[in-house]
Structure 1
Amino acid sequence: MRADLGLYDYLPWPGRPKITWPGGKKLAVWIAPNIEFYEYDPPDNPTRTPWGRPNPDVLQYSHRDYGNRAGWQRMMAAMDRAGFRGSVSLNVALCDHHPEIIRACADRGWEFFSHGIYNTRYVYNMTADQEREIIRDAFDTVRKHTGQELAGWLSPALSNNLWTMDLLAEAGIRYTCDMFHDDQPMPVKVASGKLISMPYSLEMNDVIVYNSQKVTPRHYAEIIRRQFDQLYKDSDDSGMVMCIPLHPYLVGQPHRIDAFAEAIRYIARHDGVWQATGREIAEAYHASGAYDAMSAAAKGGR
């Protein structure tokens, strides 16, 4: 019986190699809008049902579709005003369903990383070859519609198999958002290649905050500010990463958008903040030698 996932080493802060971000910045802050497409009647998956109500679940489907109709525009405008580019956690089928959203993001220099094909199709019960095909499809679709090469991955509904990380690294993915164990990028143990876990966040994720914790927009803004204040202080010693994952159908609601907009303006006003994309953080991490230094420190501690 294995005691842990076996995907990363334990490496506490004391003695951990220092990370320095480009330009001497202290804290890398990236915003990850999940721009998604939910099928109202997806193929059955025996492990997980997408909808809690019988099909057609008009209520849940249309609520999520709000993000692709109105919510994304408010979210994008708020990010524009604060000077943030997005790293889009993309259900790649959206490229065919809503190319106008893809164009608006691409025109702003936003990054696209993969969140699967549809958010209603999980990798549970897939074979390794079937999962390879999903990864290949994501690369091809994003390249065709944006000209970008995928660097990052967030599995749909955070579904994984034991071989998922190996397949991502094999395909050339540079970072995964499927792990939540640290405030700095960390090496992931894979069969080949160099894959890192990128700090994403469940705590800052508007789905958790609004749908699970049931907080008010004002409280969500306070959560964002407090997360930032602590990580900004921690970054005096070594570069940290803060991520704000969003869903336009939630944060883009009229009664919520101003609180979010004020919170990211607060972050942008601070010196030493690197308003980055996930790809830029991963590239800087590798270029600085942090991957090799962290890997060596972890091995030395065993």
Structure 2
Amino acid sequence: MVCGARVKSDPALYPPGPAPRVTWPGGKSVAVWVAPNLEYYEIDPPAHPQRKSWARPHPDVVGYSHRDHSNRVSHWRMADAMGEHGFPGSVSLSVALCDHHPVVVADAAARGWEFFSHGIYNTRYAYGMSEDQERAIIADSLKTVREATGQTIRGWLAPALTHTENTFDLIAEAGLDYTCDLYHDDRPTSVATKTGRLTSIPYSLEVNDHYGFFIYNMSPRAYADALVRQFERLADEGGTVMCIPLHAYLIGQPHRIGPFADALRRIAADGRAWPTTAGAICDHWRAQQP
């Protein structure tokens, strides 16, 4: 495992081979949760010795302004498409957005979306952090989101997907319930830590719009088709989880939002989806464990 041998799937709850079938509410086959990444990128962040924040020299006006499209325009396109087809959001939040763009956070809260932490800034990385530094970021996330939304975050997706060997132990220590930082299964699994257990909620790199458009160079329609094919296979298998990770500055562009909305329409119309949140998946899965 990425964060050390002591953080592992528990073989008592998840033996080798096919996982036990999970039952979702209403007899649905697949829990579908949408994870809008509401992020904040600094135009001139502090330099990190192990990773550059921007490909260009700072200040990277191009990179910053491209991503700022999320907070000015495309968040609303994305959110409206989700709401039209009955999909709530489980927000992967750069908690600094509460200070920099509170109107976006307020809009997500008004829609009844759930929040979990994606760190403070998406241009600051966990590599090399001490336990105290990482613990402070977790505490800041809890405090900031509670003050901004009234919610207590239950989950974690590491900032820019960067970790230390202590990450899982520290979020469990802080009382969080789930992590989105493992990509190893299509069903929830139990993760043992020093202080107890976390639930791993399936996230996705494969149908993440960042990978779809930046890595795989998909067209909008090819990406939408991939979402539907992902759903159909998981629904056929049953007892599974489908995550749709989004970034509004990508999926909310005018030429992409139509095919994306059509994919949501097709998934909703199929009848086998349980549109839900990461927290609800965590609760329903835990209720079925020994």
TM-score, with structure 2 as normaliser: 0.95
The match for 2:235 among 232, 235, 240 is: 232
Contact 1:115 1:156 in 2 (8 A): yes
Contact 1:251 1:260 in 2 (8 A): yes
Residues 1:276 and 2:284 are matched in the alignment: no
Corresponding position of 2:9: 8
Residue 22 (structure 1) shift: 2.3
Residues 1:165 and 2:168 are matched in the alignment: yes
The one-letter code sitting in structure 2 at the alignment partner of 1:245 is P
Following the alignment from structure 1 to structure 2, what is the Cα–Cα distance between the partners of residues 37 and 200? Answer: 20
The match for 1:154 among 153, 157, 180 is: 157
Residues 1:64 and 2:61 are matched in the alignment: no
C-alpha distance after superposition, 1:87-124 (max 9, x if no partner): 01000010111111111111111000000000001111
Q: Report the 3-state secondary structure (helix = DSSP H, G, I; strand = E; otherwise coil) of the residue aligned with 1:148.
A: coil
Corresponding position of 1:119: 122
C-alpha distance after superposition, 1:220-263 (max 9, x if no partner): 0110010001000000xxx1100000000100000000010000
Corresponding position of 1:88: 91
The one-letter code sitting in structure 2 at the alignment partner of 1:8 is S
Residues 1:252 and 2:255 are matched in the alignment: no
Residue identity over aligned pairs, in percent, reads 54
Contact 2:29 2:236 in 1 (8 A): no
Q: Report the 3-state secondary structure (helix = DSSP H, G, I; strand = E; otherwise coil) of the residue aligned with 2:112.
A: coil
Following the alignment from structure 1 to structure 2, what is the Cα–Cα distance between the partners of residues 133 and 92? Answer: 13
Following the alignment from structure 2 to structure 1, what is the Cα–Cα distance between the partners of residues 32 and 48? Answer: 35
Following the alignment from structure 1 to structure 2, what is the Cα–Cα distance between the partners of residues 136 and 282? Answer: 22
Following the alignment from structure 1 to structure 2, what is the Cα–Cα distance between the partners of residues 159 and 206? Answer: 19
The one-letter code sitting in structure 2 at the alignment partner of 1:130 is Q
C-alpha distance after superposition, 1:190-241 (max 9, x if no partner): 1112201110000010100101111100100110010001000000xxx110
The one-letter code sitting in structure 1 at the alignment partner of 2:9 is Y
Following the alignment from structure 1 to structure 2, what is the Cα–Cα distance between the partners of residues 39 and 193? Answer: 35
Corresponding position of 1:219: 222
The one-letter code sitting in structure 2 at the alignment partner of 1:176 is T
Residues 1:177 and 2:158 are matched in the alignment: no
Corresponding position of 2:56: 53
Residue 284 (structure 1) shift: 1.1
Q: Report the 3-state secondary structure (helix = DSSP H, G, I; strand = E; otherwise coil) of the residue aligned with 2:185.
A: coil
Following the alignment from structure 2 to structure 1, what is the Cα–Cα distance between the partners of residues 31 and 120? Answer: 28
Following the alignment from structure 1 to structure 2, what is the Cα–Cα distance between the partners of residues 137 and 251? Answer: 29
TM-score, with structure 1 as normaliser: 0.91
Residue 152 (structure 1) shift: 0.9
CA RMSD of superposed structures (Å): 1.4
The one-letter code sitting in structure 2 at the alignment partner of 1:7 is K
Q: Report the 3-state secondary structure (helix = DSSP H, G, I; strand = E; otherwise coil) of the residue aligned with 1:54.
A: coil
Contact 1:172 1:193 in 2 (8 A): no
Structure 1, unmatched stretches of 5+, are: 293-302
Contact 1:185 1:198 in 2 (8 A): yes
The one-letter code sitting in structure 2 at the alignment partner of 1:281 is I
The one-letter code sitting in structure 1 at the alignment partner of 2:164 is N
Contact 1:95 1:102 in 2 (8 A): yes
Q: Report the 3-state secondary structure (helix = DSSP H, G, I; strand = E; otherwise coil) of the residue aligned with 1:214.
A: coil
Residue 13 (structure 1) shift: 4.1
Residue 9 (structure 1) shift: 4.8
Following the alignment from structure 2 to structure 1, what is the Cα–Cα distance between the partners of residues 122 and 262? Answer: 29
The match for 1:203 among 196, 201, 206 is: 206
The one-letter code sitting in structure 2 at the alignment partner of 1:209 is G
Following the alignment from structure 1 to structure 2, what is the Cα–Cα distance between the partners of residues 9 and 285? Answer: 15
Residues 1:23 and 2:26 are matched in the alignment: yes
